[in-house]
């Protein structure tokens, strides 16, 4: 019986690359799988054998990753904020991705745009600012920058946030998508004030004038007095005080604002500057009050202080001293026996029974009103009152009095009387002549006063 030969066979299995396709292997790649063996035959010689070749083609697998850049971007109302993202094709073949944006509450879709870095330079070039819904072809495992732009509505209040979530979906396999990439646009707090001068004015000496300056909050957050300050220049040294909307007076505008509190968004208050001129100043003297308002805080990423100390809002208000100047003139003529006074001559002498006419004119030749103007004349000795007329360029009602205290629209003297005649103009309509009644600059009152010389 033959002894069986013990055959020693060594089987060696060799894989040509990778046995199975994995993510990262380019789609369409070929995976070859060949096995070999060697053994000793009965004679002890080494023999080799090779298996059939097994070939596998790598299938395309889609994949996408979108990674946000800065999670929050700040921008002012009316400006466009850019949220940046990196889009990576994590699939194993060139793919194109459909782009969209999921909008958070309050986001205006018309103000959203998606931009793609089509030339792969990592920069948003002007030519690339075209709203798109396609990434364009992206190679396997390549990256491309994309941006989502949101223009904040102009009337947005400070600190309001808008959430935007860009999404990408493979056009090869719509199941491959990335939809969890929310970033945020937050509105910058814009602190802005607008100080508007009331204009110039006149004042008597002594006297007080109020400049009603406007102080507006043109930002998108309440104006907090804590971050506002003022600089005041008062070269004339006149007394000055301040209030807001006619409230209590304070020595500085800062104190008045502190007492008032924050000014709401869009509100305008009246910052009154009350200037008091001292006695003894001359007509035409002036004092210019300069007021500067500015923010004491510096700009940050979340706050914009438009008017800082380097660029304050500056207004000037000038008060000019005016004075009333009362002038009175009196002329007389002798009308003779002509009671209508059609013919007249200067009074040099008068005979009994002749008519004398006196014309008394009161004028304000100054630059401010004269108050409580009273014109008076009396029936001369040796004469009797005959008639009178009053004309005036001052709007108001002519009033008469016999003593300068009790006034009426009825003249107290009649033909043949003696006594005094007072005339005034009631400009405030209260039926009497007081300091509330005035004679304006360049206005006059003219009294024509006729008397008859007594006969024997």
Mark whether 335 and 437 lie in a shared domain: yes
Asked if 111 contacts 153 with a C-beta cutoff of 8 angstroms, the reply is: yes
Separation of alpha carbons 331 and 401, rounded Å:
22
Pick from 158, 187, 216: which residue ends a domain? 187
342 is a domain residue? yes
39 with 138, same domain: the answer is no
Has residue 397 been placed in a domain? yes
Phi-psi region of 179 (alpha: psi -120 to 50; beta: other; left: phi over 0): alpha
Residue 57 phi, psi dihedral angles, 5° rounding? -100, 130
Establish if 166 belongs to a structural domain: yes
Q: Which of 155, 187, 219 is the last residue of a domain?
A: 187
308 within some domain: no
Which one of 24, 41, 57 terminates a domain?
Answer: 57
Burial of 128 (0-12, 13-18, 19+ CB in 10 A): middle
CATH of the domain at 435: 2.60.40
Place of tokens 């109302």: 77
User: What is the chain's length?
Assistant: 456
Q: Are residues 43 and 102 in the same domain?
A: no
Q: Among 190, 143, 186, 183, which Cα is nearest to 164's?
A: 183
pLDDT tens, per residue, the chain with 456 residues: 333 323 222 223 333 333 343 456 898 888 888 899 998 988 989 999 898 888 999 899 999 999 999 899 999 999 999 999 999 999 999 999 999 999 999 999 999 999 999 999 989 999 999 999 999 999 999 999 999 999 999 999 999 999 999 999 999 999 999 999 999 999 999 999 999 999 999 999 999 999 999 999 999 999 999 999 999 999 998 999 999 999 999 999 999 999 999 999 999 999 999 999 999 999 999 999 999 999 999 999 999 999 887 889 999 999 999 999 999 999 999 999 988 888 787 888 899 999 999 999 999 999 889 999 999 999 999 999 999 999 999 999 999 999 999 999 999 999 999 999 999 999 999 999 999 999 999 999 999 999 999 998
Number of domains in the chain: 4
CA distance readout (Å), 150 to 68, 79, 262: 15, 8, 30
What is the distance between the alpha carbons of residues 75 and 151, in angstroms, rounded to a whole number? 9
In a domain, 165, yes or no: yes
Residue 108, CB-side half-sphere exposure with 13 Å CA sphere: 11
Statement to judge: residues 96 and 27 lie in one domain: no
Q: What CATH number is associated with residue 99?
A: 2.60.40.10
CB 268 within 8 A of CB 172: no
Are residues 40 and 74 both part of a single domain? Answer: no
Identify the H or E element spanning 253.
Answer: helix 253-260
Residue 18 lies in a domain: yes
Q: Give CB contacts under 8 A, 24+ apart, made by 3-6.
A: 5/42
Which residue range is the domain that position 354 belongs to? 326-453
For residues 182 and 70, membership in a common domain is answered with yes
- Picking from 165, 143, 163, 289, the residue whose alpha carbon sits closest to that of residue 230 is 289
Is 43 part of a structural domain of the chain? yes
Decide if 282 is inside a domain. Answer: yes
- Residue 203 and residue 275 in contact, taking contact as beta carbons nearer than 8 Å: yes
If asked whether residues 46 and 73 sit together in one domain, one would say no
pTM for this prediction: 0.71
């Amino acid at each position: 019986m033959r002894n069986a030969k013990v055959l020693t066979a060594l089987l060696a299995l060799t894989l040509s690359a990778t046995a199975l396709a994995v993510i990262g292997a380019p789609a369409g790649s070929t995976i070859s799988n060949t096995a070999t063996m060697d053994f000793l035959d009965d004679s002890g010689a080494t023999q080799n054998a090779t298996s059939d070749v097994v070939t596998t083609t790598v299938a395309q697998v889609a994949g996408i990753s979108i990674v946000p850049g800065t999670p929050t971007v700040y921008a002012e109302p009316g400006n466009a904020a850019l949220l940046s993202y990196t889009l990576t094709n994590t699939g194993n073949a060139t793919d194109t991705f459909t782009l969209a944006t999921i909008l958070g509450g309050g986001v205006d879709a018309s103000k959203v745009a998606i931009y793609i870095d089509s030339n792969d330079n990592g920069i948003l070039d002007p030519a690339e600012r075209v709203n798109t819904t396609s990434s364009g072809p992206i190679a396997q495992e390549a990256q491309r920058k994309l941006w989502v732009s949101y223009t904040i509505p102009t009337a947005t209040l400070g600190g309001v946030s808008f959430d935007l979530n860009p999404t990408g979906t493979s056009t090869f396999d719509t199941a491959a998508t990335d939809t969890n990439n929310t970033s945020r646009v937050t509105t910058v707090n814009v602190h802005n004030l607008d100080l508007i001068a009331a204009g110039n004015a006149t004042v008597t000496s002594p006297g007080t004038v109020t400049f009603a300056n406007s102080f507006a909050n043109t930002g998108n957050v309440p104006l907090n007095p804590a971050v506002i300050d003022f600089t005041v220049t008062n070269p004339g040294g006149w007394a000055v005080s301040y209030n807001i909307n006619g409230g209590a007076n304070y020595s500085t505008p800062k104190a008045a604002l502190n007492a008032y509190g924050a000014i709401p968004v869009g509100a305008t208050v009246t910052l009154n500057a009350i200037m008091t001129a001292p006695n003894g100043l001359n007509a035409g003297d002036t004092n210019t009050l300069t007021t500067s308002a500015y923010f004491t805080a510096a700009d940050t990423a979340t706050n914009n202080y438009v008017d800082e100390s380097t660029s304050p809002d500056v207004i000037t208000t000038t008060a000019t001293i005016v004075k009333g100047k009362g002038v009175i003139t009196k002329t007389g003529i002798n009308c003779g026996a002509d009671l209508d006074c059609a013919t007249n001559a200067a009074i040099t002498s008068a005979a009994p029974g002749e008519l004398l006419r006196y014309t008394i004119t009161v004028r304000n030749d100054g630059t401010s009103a004269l108050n409580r103007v009273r014109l008076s004349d009396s029936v001369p000795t040796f004469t009797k009152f005959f008639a009178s007329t009053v004309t005036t360029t001052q709007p108001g009602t002519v009033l008469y009095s016999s003593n300068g205290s009790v006034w009426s629209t009825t003249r107290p003297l009649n033909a043949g009387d003696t006594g005094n005649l007072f005339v005034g103009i009631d400009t405030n309509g209260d039926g009497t002549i007081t300091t509330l009644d005035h004679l304006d600059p360049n206005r006059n009152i003219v009294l024509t006063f006729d008397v008859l010389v007594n006969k024997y």
